[in-house]
Each structure stands twice: as structure tokens, then as C-alpha cells.
Amino acid sequence: MSQAPTEKQISLARLIADKLKIEIPDTVYDDKAACSAFIDANQAQALRPSEKQLNFASKIAERKKIQIPDETLANGRALSRWIDEHKD
């Protein structure tokens, strides 16, 4: 018998599905491995920054004549923190 996913895994799967506007397969709720696979397959796409974030960050970088690190540009949360640190 397979092990059930944790509540934290289910919460993350729901967050990812909501952000990507996709359905969660039923197996995700019952099987830890299936839940992990769903998260692994979709997390990177869900964490990508929005076009609005990218445009705003680019304007800040241009105005301040600074560069945005590539790893920051790949992650919406990291870019949000970067924006907060540099917007003033």
C-alpha cells in the first residue's frame, strides 16, 4: 500500500495547480509518490515570474543602472524580493 502525502505536499500541489490553472490528478491526494511527481513536474513553471514582475524589475534595473541576477529572473519569489529591495 502506498503512503499518503503530507498536508504540506497537498497544499503545495493545490497552490501550483491554482497558479497554473490545471487539474490535480486524483492519485495526488492518495499517493505520496504521485504527489511528489506532480510537484516536481510543475513547480518550476509555477514559480516563474509574471510578465508584469519582469517588466517592473527591468525598469528598476534600468533606472538604477544595475543588473538583475539570472537566478533571480528565473524565480517569481526571488524576483519579488529583489523588487522590494531595489524599488526605492
pTM of full prediction above 0.75: no
Query: Hey, how many other C-beta atoms are within 10 angstroms of the C-beta on 82?
Result: 21
Q: Tens digits of per-residue pLDDT, 9-18?
A: 999 999 999 9
Give 22-46 pLDDT, tens digit per residue. Answer: 999 999 999 999 999 999 999 989 9
Tell me whether residue 76 is in a domain.
yes
Neighbours of 26 (CB within 10 A): 9
Question: Which structural domain range is residue 21 located in?
Answer: 7-46
Count how many domains the chain has.
2
Residues 60 and 29 in one domain: no
Looking at the domain assignment, is residue 66 inside a domain? yes
- 2 inside domain: no
Identify whether residues 57 and 39 lie together within a single domain: no
